[in-house]
Chain A
Amino acid sequence: MSENTHHITPYRTLGIILLILLSLTFVTIEITSIHLGALTVTAALLIAGVKGFLVLSYFMHLKHESLLLRILVALVFVLFVLIVLITFIDYAYRT
């Protein structure tokens, strides 16, 4: 038998999360139509990050999963970010 005392995500929660995601999508579109240079990218990526966080936490149920799993997911993202940043050390400083 499964040892899950599985938390069940209520329909209501799922609907609310969708609404938030849709709102954030439209916010992104509005923000990226303003020319803020590098800030535009940052803003868009930050909002995407929030959306991703919501999908991970609620749709993918991470909020109610074990600490181990949450740490592992975080570490994978950290690894990816580190790899990108380190590669940029090369490209950003090329003469």
Chain B
Amino acid sequence: MSKEVESEKHVSYLDYQGKYKGIFGWIFSTDHKRIALLYLYSIVTFFFVGAILGLVMRFELVAPGETIVKPQTYNGLFTVHGVIMIFMVVIPGLSAIFGNFLLPLHIGAKDVAFPKLNRFSWWIFIAGSIMAILTQFLRQGPPDTGWTFYAPYSTSTGTSVILATSAAFVLGFSSILTGLNFIVTIHRMRAPGMKFFNMPLFPWSIYAASWIQLLATPVVGITLIMLIFERLFGIGFFNPELGGDPLLFQHLFWIYSHPAVYIMILPAMGVITEIIPTFCQQKVYGYKAIAISSLAIAGVGFLVWGHHMYTSGMSEQARWFFSLLTFIVAVPSAIKVFNWIFTMYNGSIDLKPPFLYALFFIFLFIIGGTTGLILGSVATNIQVHDTAFIVAHFHYIIFGGMGFAFFAAIHFWFPKFYGTMYNIKQANFGAILLFIGFNLLYFPQFIIGYQGMPRRYYDYLPHFQWAQVLSTVGGVVLFIALIVMVTNLVKGAKRGAPAPANPWNGSTLEWTIPSPPSLENFDTDPVVKKNPYEYN
């Protein structure tokens, strides 16, 4: 069903020459597609910086005792690794890149609601990122608090906490504005005839995530300012000697940071929900359930934050409440997993890279999710809180989940972005290598975690070493796989074979326009189908 548009008027958005020339045509662009690529290139760069930091940590951990860095350096490493990965990669990642590129296309619009605000969002994303990177080079030394900045250590340590928290504040602002933009876009710019329940499911996931970005981020914003004021003026909110409570910081912090993980995973699930029907060539099973479950996850996700705090000293009633809500929020996620699998049933499956990554996603997400249930239960949580088990859990969910969905997305929409195709065999090889390296790196951490290996420790008892060695090997394999994947994509972008408008026989609107699209996306009003997932 692909439509080759033969028009000498078709100038792709990549080639379009507007008011600004050269690089300025990009950094001053208000075109959602160019902004998406700007986010892509910056975020991939930050990801590799964060990954290398992770690798350094893995080399430190390969043997007990001091291996390659000093303890204080190690504290700085896990802090900046977390800050970069969380605030500069996984929170903005899918929304800012694929939300920006695909949302207008999926709803038949020519751009987002506020293109200039969109550009501003990217600028402040870069500003915040520069601030975060600068923290590594200040005289006080890089922050050593962990990305979670818990009081009272964060209020008293001499390191560059104020700059780091300011950076997070600025990055949060970027997230808020992007969320705002997308919500208005979805409400106001759908093509004629496209009701909410005619939208594809990726925009639904972006919609739900955008609400979280909008409503949760201000809470961490004000909390970071409280932290800064604590350091500057000693206002005492988190200081028991002055009447305050360190736990209050944890509450405020996690009131944002738990919903934040749904900012990460909801668009990931949205991506998977686009890929699976396409590569099975049949419609999504349970469209409405998936749409509503996205909203349910976003809503209930605001009420579970205390499951990060079971051992902190909260009341028993609070632990009971948060545990109950945590089990409830797992239900809509499980619904999605069932729906994906049922979508595949009796389908005509094509094992291309996007689909391979999607299958890996489901596997890794299930492991991450079910270990999340172990953590949601207070009794088992107490055993594994602050151990490597937690580290394994969140890497399975964030990296195995959102990360693999990211890789799936880039392989899926690559031909649309660039009008060329990458090498399929190399892509699949990279995916398999990545999957092997990933599991080798993180699965052993579950085991030594429940055996007692603490997180954020650079030293450990010798009987944990077997797992640390395996993990480090896994880390190296994973890194190599990333190189394989990225070089394949870069090669494909530069020298790949031209790709048609609809190489995967997808049925959503982006596949009806040329690859790459022209500046304003649609030459004529798109024909809106009642069911976005129809294949012949």
Contact = CB atoms under 8 A, between A and B. Distances in A.
Are A and B part of the same complex? yes
A89 to B, nearest CB: 5
A90 interface: yes
B215 interface: yes
B251 A93 contact: no
Interface stretch (B87-95, B225-233, B314-322, B393-401): B314-322
B47 interface: no
Contacts of B321: 86, 89
B303 A90 contact: no
Interface residues of B, number: 16
Nearest to B320: A89
Contacts of B251: 87, 90
Interface in B221-276: 247, 251, 255
B282 to A, nearest CB: 34
Contacts of B303: 82, 86
Taking chain B's interface residues, is the majority helix, strand, or loop, or is none over half, making it mixed?
helix
A93 B316 CA distance: 8
A contact residues, range: 10 to 19
Nearest to B302: A79
B277 interface: no
A12 interface: no
Contact of B302 (A83, A90, A93): A83
Nearest to B247: A90
Given A76-B215, A82-B302, A83-B302, A92 B255 contact: no
B104 interface: no
A74 to B, nearest CB: 13
B306 interface: yes
Contact of B315 (A79, A83, A91): A91
8 shortest A-B CB distances, which residue pairs?
A: A93-B315, A90-B318, A93-B317, A90-B314, A89-B318, A94-B315, A90-B315, A89-B317
Interface of B: 187, 215, 219, 247, 251, 255, 302-303, 306, 313-318, 321
Given A79-B302, A86-B318, A90-B251, 19 more contacts: A68-B187, A79-B215, A83-B219, A83-B302, A86-B303, A86-B321, A89-B315, A89-B318, A89-B321, A90-B306, A90-B314, A90-B315, A90-B318, A91-B315, A92-B315, A93-B317, A93-B318, A94-B315, A95-B315
